[in-house]
Amino acid sequence: MVATLLRIRFRVLGNTLSRHPWQLVGFIFGTLWAIGAVGLIALGLFFVGALGLEVTRLVLIAGGGLLTLGWVLAPVFAAGIDTTLDPSRLATFPLTTGRMMVALTAAGLTGVPGLATVLGGLASLVAWWRWPIALAAAVVCVPLGILLCVIASRAFAAIAGGMTGGRRIREVIGMVAFIVLILAGPIIAGIGGLIRAASGPSDDLSALGGVLETVSWTPLAAAWSAPGDLASGAPLVAGAKLLIAIGSIALLWFIWYRSLSASLIAPPARGGRQVAAGKLGWFGRLPTGGTGASWARSLTYWVHDPRYLRQLITVPLVPVLVVFWARGDMSNTFIAFSATFVAFVLGIVPYADVSYDGTAFGTIVATGVRGRADRLGRMLGAATVGLPLVVVTAVVTIAITGDWHLAPAIIGSAIGMLLTAYGVCAVSSAYLIVPVPAPGDNPFKRVPGATFSIFLGFLGVWVLAALLAAPEIVLAVLVAVTGDALVGWLALIVGVVLGVVFFILGIQIGGRILDRTAPDLLLRVRAASGS
């Protein structure tokens, strides 16, 4: 039965990739990247082995700990390593929970991340070429470390599924995870600073070594540390860490078993909201007709849909990142330009927003809404949220830096960038359909190869929008360099005028394209959503 499930998994994956050429290209690139990365890791570990036993131990402890941590955090960002063999879909099969867990573990090991982990783990054997006893121990410990990665990932995914029975709670967890991901650089730097402060007068390498020694006694790196301890002449320490690894696998397997059994008996409920009679939300506040209805629907997405809301989280995070890269210098001019960076990020969000409609796009096609009305309504919804955020960001960051002489240039470049990007998106979303999470799914869920096609779409819209918005951006930079107030007001006028022009052109062109492509878009949306 396990072998049958694995065959089904690969058949479903093959069919998915064959129907979506760009996903296939992305899958191939991802596989080639993983192979190249493993090759570089093996080469690097070979040379690490020549640096001495202590350095080799610390490198493998750090690498093994990060690898395990990555597998543990993956369910938060991707709702599980492999979504093809979903436990809820397997519940109707004549499978015991234990055998289902074996199948899911095997699926995790045979995916691209799993195979890369297996190859990377085998590559770690190269590091012990100078110490045969450590090499012999690694033959036993490395498989345990790899198995711990997959089981820990599945266990935490099952725990998260059981703890987050409500849809809103799952969405909040996804938002928090996204914030942590965006702020990973400042967080890591802050932790490093705390470690250096706690280590006192010792150097950075000694402080890092002490931290890694502590990590080696945790399930994250116990299996990866044991071979080095044995080669160092500490067999009791190596044996203790081996027991920690084995005990961790057994405990995580038990936790996974209990969580999975409970979820299969009583799957997490999907929350929903009941709308009182007569309460139409934005549909009752905005004008009627095709443009008004599209505007109201788009604004509802922006205010309530977590797939859109997570983009709005970047608004306060962008200035934080700019301050971090400015090394805390609050007078740095780059901080004042945070609004332009925010506009650059927010402007491309609707580049393929028909994909987020899912099969509900069929209702739009059936009602005969004109393409121009649909484009205008969608972009007005985005601008209703985006424009105030960009202006507020500009005022706040300029107030922090005190560069009020840059205000007209920054506001002009930000508004021009935002409206220009919306105009480009009005055209691109009439063409592009990309795989996106369904409503209620984890916002970070992806199908194999989808990341590559999404990246190409983002890159194309970004480049085109940046080129079209170049005049006002160049003028704004010129003001920052020369301090010429007249050029600043010119940047404001150019930014607003060109932004409005490109916005209107995008609506007109995108509307005509949508009138021709709507039936084809509907077919592609249904195919992408699996309907």
Strands (DSSP E) contained in 266-361 are none
Angle 241-246-251 (CA atoms, 0-180°, nearest 5)? 120
Report the chain (531 residues): mean pLDDT per 10 consecutive residues: 74 72 72 83 86 87 87 61 62 76 82 83 88 90 92 77 51 58 57 51 58 85 90 90 93 87 60 52 78 88 78 77 73 82 88 82 84 91 91 89 88 94 92 72 54 72 90 91 88 94 94 89 75 52
b/e map 207-241, b = 16+ CB within 10 Å = bbbebbeebbeebbbbbbbbbbbbbeeeeebbeeb
State the Cα–Cα distance between residues 454 and 26, nearest whole angstrom. Answer: 10
Alpha-carbon span 301 to 380, nearest angstrom: 12
Q: Where are the domains of the chain?
A: 2-265, 286-529
Task: Report the phi/psi class of residue 147: left, alpha or beta, with left for phi > 0 and alpha for psi in -120 to 50.
Answer: alpha
303 contact partners, CB below 8 Å, separation of at least 6 = 282, 309, 385
Residues 425 and 348 sit within 8 Å (Cβ to Cβ)? yes
Query: Looking at residue 89, what is its pLDDT?
Result: 67
Q: Which two tokens stand for residue 25?
A: 């290209």
The radius of gyration of the chain from alpha carbons, rounded to an integer in Å, stands at 27
Q: What is the Cα–Cα distance from 77 to 173, expressed in whole angstroms?
A: 9
* Residue 284: predicted pLDDT: 76
What pLDDT does residue 181 have? Answer: 56
- Which residue matches tokens 């038990």? 254
Decide: 78 and 444 in contact? Cβ < 8 Å: yes
pLDDT at site 451 = 60
- pTM summary value: 0.66
**According to the model, what pLDDT value does residue 449 have?**
53
Q: What is the pLDDT of residue 403?
A: 83
- Rounded Cα–Cα distance for residues 309 and 178 (Å): 11
